[in-house]
Amino acid sequence: MSTIPYKIYLEENEMPKQWYNVRADMKKKPAPILNPGTLQPVTLEELSGIFCTELAKQELDDTTPYFDIPQEILSFYRMYRPSPLVRAYCLEEKLGTPAHIYYKFEGNNTSGSHKLNSAIAQAYYAKKQGLKGVTTETGAGQWGTALSMACSYFDLDCQVYMVKVSYEQKPFRREVMRTCGATVAPSPSMNTEVGRKINAEFPGTTGSLGCAISEAVEAAVTQDGYRYVLGSVLAQVLLHQSVIGLETKAALDKYGIKADMIIGCAGGGSNLGGLISPFAGEMLRGEAKYDIIAVEPASCPSLTRGVYAYDFCDTGKVCPLAKMYTLGSSFIPSANHAGGLRYHGMSSIVSELYDQKLISARSVEQTSVFEAATTFARVEGILPAPESSHAIRVAIDEALKCKETGEEKNIVFGLTGTGYFDMVAYQKYNDGEMSDYIPTDEDLQKSISQMPKVD
């Protein structure tokens, strides 16, 4: 009988009271974000026109290691945090592995993912600034859902531009957002100039994330009392998501467990960045070593097959440019079922850590991801999100390697959310109709060659 419980929870007094900014411990910092017009580093004043001032400050601050979490946010976190760190005893037994597998489960809130950790912070700062509301984009809808919940808590207006194909094909998340009082427009819409332009140029287009971002930014800067918020990629989002890693580390430390391997799925890099931040910090300070793996879909392989360069974050080219591993902002991934991982670029912090070889990356194919998801769902009692299942895939692969070598590694992975709204994807998998399109080098070269030339 092991002394480690199935679920490790933290007591109130063990919960993190500050977020951790890993950039403070990086000797070589991520490159600054650039104004798309002047190609000069963005100033606080410029950024404050798009983002809430406090969030713009967080975005540009790469030296302050800890930020106090405001009391109002701590109170909200208390409703669904700490999230459990679960020892996957049943999965270990099923695999017959000597490895010890742990997962940090972020799906225990109605929005169903880790995105609420940053949504509530962003809504708080908007409210504190006296704004009327915020605008944003959403793809499959997890971010829009989380933000809608956060805005309703603080009585803020929430305007969501939802990629049209998801708006039409995934009505349920849309209805959760509307239930929380948000307005949801299919993007490209006729509300914005950029939306009207894209609709005229590409009649019948079903939209893209990059296009929805452009619409949301335009909506924010053209309405008094509104700012734009974004659910991934940005440094501020990784800062808020560090709560995941801080809790994970506190839970492991509580039982004297030293992680050998830390695995997370990577779309824009926010959950992975948040999960690994305190561990990467230890590595950067020379205090410990971990094997950290970012897992991305083979259909959208920004780390494993992209280039490290300045690129646009959106199709309309209105957002600041970021230096990141990217496939080019015109890259449109094939219809992969992990909507949250279909972004052309990667957080500049995760990109820089990867470039410094502090972390590694792997890409996995969709059907093998769903195979892992199914194995997990059958023994661990949680139906995982397709995005999260990328991490499950690699955790299982590594646990099976341990079975061969007899190593008792401690494998920790991030289980970012639940997949109840992704049943069409599970249906395709169960019916044997799922495909594994992997872009050719030619496909990638096309979008990469269209990137801006900066340096």
Ligand X SMILES: *Cc1c(COP(=O)(O)O)cnc(C)c1O
Task: Please tell me whether residue 142 binds ligand X under the rule CB under 6 A.
Answer: yes
C-alpha distances (whole Å) from 95 to each of 89, 223, 354, 391 are 10, 55, 30, 16
Considering only residues 213 through 232, tell me which ones interact with ligand X, judged by CB under 6 A: 232
**Binding segment (CB under 6 A) for ligand X, from list 170-178, 196-204, 264-272, 420-428:** 264-272
Radius of gyration for the chain, computed over Cα atoms and rounded to the nearest angstrom: 20
Position among 266, 293, 309, 322 found at the interface with ligand X (CB under 6 A): 266
Task: Please tell me whether residue 333 binds ligand X under the rule CB under 6 A.
Answer: no
Cβ neighbours for 288, distance < 8 A, ≥ 6 positions apart: 258, 279, 282
Number of residues that bind ligand X (CB under 6 A): 19
Task: Please tell me whether residue 385 binds ligand X under the rule CB under 6 A.
Answer: yes
C-alpha distances (whole Å) from 217 to each of 37, 130, 214, 319 are 15, 19, 5, 8
Q: Let me know: does 455 contact 420? Beta carbons within 8 Å.
A: no
Task: Please tell me whether residue 416 binds ligand X under the rule CB under 6 A.
Answer: yes
Cβ neighbours for 438, distance < 8 A, ≥ 6 positions apart: 298, 299, 365
CA distance 388 to 155: 31
CB 416 to ligand X: min, Å? 3
Task: Please tell me whether residue 118 binds ligand X under the rule CB under 6 A.
Answer: no
**Binding segment (CB under 6 A) for ligand X, from list 35-43, 263-271, 303-311, 434-442:** 263-271
Task: Please tell me whether residue 267 binds ligand X under the rule CB under 6 A.
Answer: yes
Position among 270, 299, 366, 447 found at the interface with ligand X (CB under 6 A): 270
Position among 81, 87, 104, 115 found at the interface with ligand X (CB under 6 A): 115
CB 415 to ligand X: min, Å? 9
CB 105 to ligand X: min, Å? 11
Nearest to 144 by CA among 216, 227, 214, 238: 216
Cβ neighbours for 153, distance < 8 A, ≥ 6 positions apart: 76, 120, 123
What is the signed CA dihedral for 345, 346, 347, 353, rounded to 10 degrees? -140
Task: Please tell me whether residue 166 binds ligand X under the rule CB under 6 A.
Answer: no
Task: Please tell me whether residue 48 binds ligand X under the rule CB under 6 A.
Answer: no
Single-letter residue type at 4: I
Position among 271, 315, 336, 348 found at the interface with ligand X (CB under 6 A): 271
Nearest to 213 by CA among 394, 402, 50, 31: 50
User: Which of 217/266 has CB closer to ligand X?
Assistant: 266
Residue ranges in contact with ligand X by CB under 6 A:
113, 115, 142, 232, 265-272, 340-341, 385, 387-388, 416-417
